Amino acid sequence: MHRCFLERYSSSSVKEVDDTTFEMAVHNAENPVFLEAYATYCNSCQTLAPMWEDLGKAFEKSTGVQRVHIAKIEATTENMRNRLKIDVFPTLLFYEGNGTEPRPTGADGIMRVSLLL
């Protein structure tokens, strides 16, 4: 069975992507990807971090059509903020896979994450 890009290049339950790996690892991924766009200086992002790790661990063993990858990206560059169409941190985006546009979860997304755990 072929392993996706995120599984091949990261051993953490939350996969870190960047400008160079975003297209392959997130936007064009075969399976859904739940992405946190964060800034290292953001207090809310730091508060979310342990929950995001727990969510990654919860989905780590998922397989088949239920397989969802949990990922994060430092999105402080103007290029990445424009590309993701974000202006606040953290921003949670759900990519359904195969090049689909993301669904932003909004501010209530953090509450939804906590309910998943």
> pLDDT tens digits, residue range 49-91?
998 998 899 888 777 766 889 999 999 999 999 999 988 999 9
What is the Cα Rg of the chain in Å?
13
The SS3 of residue 82 is helix
Question: Domain containing 90 — which CATH number?
Answer: 3.40.30.10
Report if pTM > 0.85: no
Tokens of 15: 């996969």
DSSP symbol at 2: P
Count of the separate structural domains present in the chain: 1
Host domain of residue 56: 5-116
The pLDDT tens digits of the residues spanning 23-34 come to 999 988 888 899
Please answer whether residues 93 and 105 qualify as being in contact, where contact means their C-beta atoms are separated by less than 8 angstroms. yes
